Amino acid sequence: DTEVTQTPKHLVMGMTNKKSLKCEQHMGHRAMYWYKQKAKKPPELMFVYSYEKLSINESVPSRFSPECPNSSLLNLHLHALQPEDSALYLCASSQDFGSSYNSPLHFGNGTRLTVT
Amino acid sequence: AQKVTQAQTEISVVEKEDVTLDCVYETRDTTYYLFWYKQPPSGELVFLIRRNSFDEQNEISGRYSWNFQKSTSSFNFTITASQVVDSAVYFCALSEVDDKIIFGKGTRLHILP
């Protein structure tokens, strides 16, 4: 069983909808990530939170809005998405970020998002 | 800039055969980390191994083994006596110190019964 839990597993939304993806980890990790993965492509980094503060935003459009309410939770708020935003959205956590240790990422199962 | 190349897009082997997945990387740093991840059809990426640039010892874990060679900038992954459950996409990845992980494009491995 994965130690990073993502909900929902599947989501279908219209272009005018507002929805949120949720991610939770209880490994005591201090860094959390959102990745986007299109079919047959590697994961692409979207956001990194370190100690609940946004450390990296990879020039993601503002229709994606991340939120880190506490060290265990990470949300991704979605609004006015486009069909090309349909993808697998993966949450990950790691022990830390920005240290010389480069701790490995632990991924959730992902949310498969379809925008109609 | 750092870069990871997995030249094999897709590989098919018959069960019980050995298979090697290639990974070549580029970096200007002397300190860096290499990773392998497995992504089965369920979607979750599973961490397999991390190796730092100062540790060139090969590693074996059950049927999995990794060959790290700095001289050729390669970090290859071998599965011995492959099984159908090994069917997945395998990603090699690189991160320089204090930096994000860069993934290769992945190799899709099919193990045929």
The mean per-residue pLDDT over the stretch B32-43 comes to 93
d(CA A87, CA A40): 11
Task: State the Cα torsion A43-A85-B44-B63 to the nearest 10°.
Answer: -40
Q: Which of A41, A102, A108 sits opposite B44 (nearest CB)?
A: A108
Share of chain A above pLDDT 90, in %: 85
- Three-point CA angle B32, A68, A111, nearest 5°: 80
pLDDT average, residue stretch A23-29: 94
Instruction: Please state, rounded to an integer, the average pLDDT across all residues of chain A.
Output: 92
- pLDDT, tens only, B52-90: 899 888 888 999 999 999 999 999 999 999 999 999 999
| A1 pLDDT more than 60 | no
Interface contact A98-B98, CB threshold 8 A: yes
Terminal-residue alpha carbon distance, chain A: 31
A52-105 pLDDT, tens per residue? 999 999 999 999 999 999 999 999 999 999 999 999 999 999 988 876 567 889
The confidence score (pLDDT) of residue A101 equals: 61
In the DSSP assignment, the letter for residue A85 is G
Q: Which residues does A contribute to its contact with B (CB < 8 Å)?
A: 2, 40-43, 45, 48, 56, 88, 90, 92, 98-100, 102, 104-110, 112
Q: Tell me, what's the pLDDT at A99?
A: 63
Burial profile A18-53: b = 16 or more Cβ within 10 angstroms, e = fewer: ebebbbbbeeebbbbbbbbbeeeebbebbbbbbebe
pLDDT score, position A2: 61
Residues A62-71: tens digit of each pLDDT: 999 999 999 9
The pLDDT value given to residue B16: 97
State the best of B27, B100, B108 to mutate against chain A, taking most chain A CBs within 10 Å.
B100
